[in-house]
Amino acid sequence: MIRYISALILLGITAFFLANNFFTATKNSLASLVSLRPLSEPELIKQGNRSGLSVSVYSSFPLNHKHLIAINAGAANGVGVGMPVTLEGNILVGQVIEVSESQALVRTIFDKDWSLPVRIGPAEHDALLVGGQNPKLTLIDKDQDINSGDAVISAKKDLPYGLKIGEVTEVRDLVAQSFKEAGLLSPYNSKDLRKVVVLLK
Amino acid sequence: MRRFLLVSLLILSSGLVQNTGLFSIFGIKPNLLLAVLIAGSFFIDSLPVFWVLLLESVIFLRFESGFQLELLVWVALLCAAYFAERAFPWRRSVNNLVLIATVTALFYLITDIDYLVGVPLAVLGEVFYTSIFGVLFYDIFRQLGDNEENIFKR
């Protein structure tokens, strides 16, 4: 009898752990200490009619199949779902997908579930950026002249137009495929991200 | 007791490190929690004690709010691994590596098959990288176990 009750209690505790994110904020804060990241308060930056929030990256998703980061600003600081997250205000890092009171989750361009319309080079050719360990530019028209080194900028409706994303690396033009594809070289390494800027408006 | 505390402490430190990019090589992180738990499962002969350690690891794997399929699969697979290592015919050190590879592959097969099929080299790299830590943790527990009678008997 005692065995069954113990087993039930253990199952109850398991369900509590699986359904509750009670410790997540504390864990993220501790993770930032482990990686010697500054525990600074979010800082509001105003530039003309634009305003951004400079925040620290607390932690990153513990497994390899998702590329999410946690930042130390949340609803209390004016952060909302869908807001663009940048490096130095002009290089796109990702987009906020979840907000709590004091922290938020950001899906980066290295996440495989991420995709967004982009423009390539001075002629601003259309393409679709598909995220992943190695993000790639897809659906590039075969007639378009794309070269290695061309700049890639954002062209998504709910993001500011023209945020820099990276540069084109190798262009693949296979006969069997209807569109060209290209690799993307990001100007930063995701594991080195310490401070990012959330664009508030 | 000493072994339980050691495994618990290793889960705490591994879990925190796993939430950073500290050991990331070419964008691949080792699954330190898996390495600690699989290696530890050979030396902890009580399922409830192992279960407590497993729940401790869940704290460090949770990232999003609400239900995360990954956590349920994680608990189920690690629990299965706990019984499987006692059924495997090979040496314990070999079982340790086989279980790390199997659990990693099954985890991605169930939670994110696109990742497994799309970037198999990344999964292979993770298995290799995690195995290195698996061997290290197994050796730590084995050396500790040589001088201590296991108090967690089934």
- pLDDT tens profile B2-43: 778 888 889 999 988 888 888 888 888 999 999 999 998 888
Mean pLDDT for all residues in chain B: 86
What are the distances in angstroms from CA B87 to CA A28, A83, B14, B34? Answer: 37, 51, 27, 19
Q: How confident is the model at residue B154 (pLDDT cuts 50, 70, 90)?
A: very low
Instruction: Using CB atoms, pick whichever of A17, A27, A98 lies closest to residue B64.
Output: A98
* pLDDT, position B67: 78
Question: Which chain A residues are within 8 Å of B67, Cβ to Cβ?
Answer: 18-19
Q: Rounded to whole angstroms, how far apart are CA atoms A76 and A102? A: 6
Identify from A10, A65, A96 which residue to disrupt to test chain B contact, counting B C-beta atoms within 10 A and taking the largest count. A65
Q: Is the pLDDT assigned to residue B91 strictly greater than 90?
A: no
What Å distances lie between residue A37 and B35, B77, B92, CA to CA?
26, 33, 39
Query: How would residue B74 be classed by pLDDT, with cut points 50, 70 and 90?
Result: very high
What's the rounded Cα separation, in Å, for the pair B23 and A191? 10
pLDDT for A38: 64
- In sequence order, what are the beta bridge partners of A137? A129, A182
Q: Which of A28-32, A40-44, B57-61, B110-114 has the lowest mean pLDDT?
A: A28-32
Residue contact B16–A34, C-beta within 8 A:
yes
CA dist B110 → A26, A107, A173, B66 (Å):
29, 22, 34, 19
The three-point CA angle B61-B62-B63 to 5° equals 110
Q: What is the pLDDT of residue B5?
A: 85
- Residues in A touching B118 (Cβ below 8 Å): 112, 132
The answer to whether the CB atoms of B58 and A18 lie below 8 A apart is yes
Query: Token pair 């956590």 is at which residue?
Result: B71
3-state secondary structure of A197: strand
pLDDT at B149 over 60: no
Inter-chain contact B70–A13, Cβ cutoff 8 Å?
no
ipTM for the predicted complex: 0.82
Nearest to B126 among A21, A64, A192 (CB): A64
Pick from B17, B33, B75: CB nearest A14: B75
Residues A85, A88, A93: CA angle, nearest 5 degrees: 35
Per-residue pLDDT in tens (0 to 9) along chain A, 201 residues: 777 887 788 788 777 777 777 777 777 777 777 777 666 788 888 887 888 899 988 888 888 888 889 898 889 888 999 999 999 888 999 999 999 888 899 999 888 888 899 999 888 889 999 988 788 899 988 888 888 888 999 988 888 888 899 999 988 888 888 888 899 988 888 777 888 999 986
